[in-house]
């Protein structure tokens, strides 16, 4: 459900920075295509991890946020971030 290159990054931004519009998420993830971001968000929404809110405006405003179920991933995300920071320190110490 959260595997792959992009889903952990999407979750990181939604868990730590709150509600995002599509373009905001895309700017925060250089290298992701519009199509890939759309696909990943749809999968996360289908799994009940991300909520998609559409506002009846012209042009339409769409916001993405983490659901209560998605919030249960916070400890996992924090543990991965902690491991990543330690890993960076370790690799920097080994390969200065």
Q: Where do the structural domains in the chain lie, given as residue ranges?
A: 7-94
Q: What is the pLDDT of residue 59?
A: 86
Per-residue pLDDT of the chain (96 residues; tens, 9 = 90+): 888 889 999 999 999 999 999 999 999 999 999 999 999 999 999 999 999 999 998 888 999 999 999 999 999 999 988 998 888 877 777 776
pTM of the model: 0.85
- The full DSSP string for the chain is ---SSSHHHHHHHHHHH--EEHHHHHHHSTT--HHHHHHHHHHHHHTTSEEEEEE--SS-EEEEEE-HHHHTTHHHHHHHHHHHHHHHHHHHHH--
Strand order in the sheet with 61-66: 20-21, 61-66, 50-55
Instruction: For residue 95, give both structure tokens.
Output: 């390969």
Correct CATH for 7-94 of 3.40.50.720, 1.10.10.10, 3.40.30.10, 3.40.50.2300: 1.10.10.10
What's the pLDDT at 96?
Answer: 65
């Amino acid at each position: 459900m959260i595997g792959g290159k992009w889903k952990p990054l999407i979750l990181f931004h939604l868990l730590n920075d709150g509600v995002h519009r599509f373009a905001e998420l895309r700017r925060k993830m250089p290298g992701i295509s519009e199509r890939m971001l759309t696909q990943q968000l749809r999968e996360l929404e289908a799994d009940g991890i991300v909520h998609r809110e559409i506002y009846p405006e012209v042009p339409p405003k769409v916001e993405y946020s983490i659901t209560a179920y998605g919030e249960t991933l916070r400890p996992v995300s924090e543990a991965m971030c902690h491991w990543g920071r330690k890993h960076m320190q370790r690799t920097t110490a080994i390969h200065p």
